[in-house]
Amino acid sequence: MTLAEFRRIAIAKGQVGIMALGQSGFVLRFPDAQVLVDGYFSAHPDRLLEPPFRPDEAKGFDMIAFTHEHGDHMDLDAVPHLAQASPGARLIAPEPCVEMLTGAGIPRERITAIAAHEAVTLGGAEIVGVPARHAVAAGDPYTFGEEGAHGVRFLGYAFRGDGVSVYQAGDTLEYEGLAESLLTLHVDVALLPINGRDAERERKGIAGNMDAEEAADLAIRAGVDVVVPTHYDMFAANPGYPGRLVEAVRQRSNGPTVVTLSAGSCFIYTKLMIHARSERFVESTG
């Protein structure tokens, strides 16, 4: 599906459209806001997936967000083209990443730095910074990136529009308090990495994430309705296995719906409030 085709799908109140770009990249469409997060577009010799659209085709976005500095999340070669394609967009990033964006030619006035637990409203959506536990390089300790003087280096985001909340985890391990934070944010849909971490990957220089079992546990404890696996399909040396997430959820009680999205596919999530009880369903499309 092209971006233009995705945008022709009507998004009503209480809905969000979610289009996968591969790895951790997504387009989110709320009724009054369009978001691009962690889009990865640049060529790489080990890349397995082509992006569904080019960065110069990324028109009409209100927010272009980056969870952290790694190139498959903050594609600095693509950033100038994204910013030019959507001249009205705000670029959202953790404070330690701001200089990287200005170094890529983005005017500082177009950038909104966001901190852990900070909420920023832009147009028809709110974005809330959620701490992420990760590492800059393999072999580094997994932390929240608080070592510097400019705030948390690694974030996930809860995007909230018209009563629907989508959590994009970026890169993170599961940690104490994360599920409770997502409950507080009333997250409906969680986009969670499943590639895991191990000594072999770290020997290759790959800092890891939660695995499928951990993602299933987090999704259930956070009370989400839908979990979408991420960070498993872009590089052969850093895979994850969505089937393991499906099986892990199936083995647990009261599990969410698992929606696996290939690059360029999408689904529409609808949240209906009936007698103060939330009833939800998803509508998938290729």
Provide the residue range defining the domain that includes 111: 3-285
Q: What is the four-CA torsion angle of 217, 39, 234, 223, rounded to 10 degrees? A: 10
Q: What percent of the chain is modeled with pLDDT above 90?
A: 81
pLDDT value of position 253: 82
Q: Which of 23-27, 100-104, 271-275 has the lowest mean pLDDT?
A: 271-275
pLDDT value of position 147: 61
Residue 280 scores a pLDDT above 80: no
pLDDT value of position 149: 53
pLDDT value of position 144: 83
Residues present in the chain in total: 286
pLDDT value of position 137: 78
Mean pLDDT over 57-78 rounds to: 97
The pTM of the whole model exceeds 0.75: yes
Interval 115-162: pLDDT, tens: 999 999 998 999 999 999 998 877 788 888 776 556 788 999 999 999
Split at pLDDT 50, 70, 90, the class of 286 is: low
CATH number of 59's domain: 3.60.15.10
Structural domain count, the chain: 1
